[in-house]
């Protein structure tokens, strides 16, 4: 399955029955060689969202325990595949 995430929008990905959904925000490209993803981590009423920087030439990235294929990266959107 392919996921297209626009800069500044939140994507919720289901991980299976009785598991918490994975929430990812695409933060754009900090420069022409890196892009930024921000996973949302919540527990109850508390949470945080670290920025994770990836090389724009990466073919495969890992966010927590999930692996994604990087299909296309632009400053406006990113397309990830399972």
| Residue pointed to by tokens 């392919």 | 2
**What is the phi-psi region of residue 18: left when phi exceeds 0, alpha when psi lies from -120 to 50, beta otherwise?**
left
Q: What is the pLDDT of residue 51?
A: 92
Place of tokens 């892009």: 35
Structure token pair of residue 75: 């400053």
Nearest-angstrom CA–CA distance, 33 and 48: 26
Share of the chain above pLDDT 90, in %: 62
Q: Is the pLDDT of residue 74 over 90?
A: yes
- Give the whole-angstrom CA distance, residue 8 versus residue 26: 6
């Amino acid at each position: 399955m392919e996921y297209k995430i626009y800069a500044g929008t939140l994507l919720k990905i289901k991980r299976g029955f009785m598991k918490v959904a994975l929430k990812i925000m695409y933060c754009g490209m900090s420069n022409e060689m890196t892009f930024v993803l921000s996973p949302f981590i919540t527990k109850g009423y508390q949470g945080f969202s670290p920025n994770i920087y990836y090389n724009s030439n990466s073919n495969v990235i890992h966010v927590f325990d999930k692996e994604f294929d990087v299909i296309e990266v632009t400053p406006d959107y990113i397309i990830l595949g399972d």
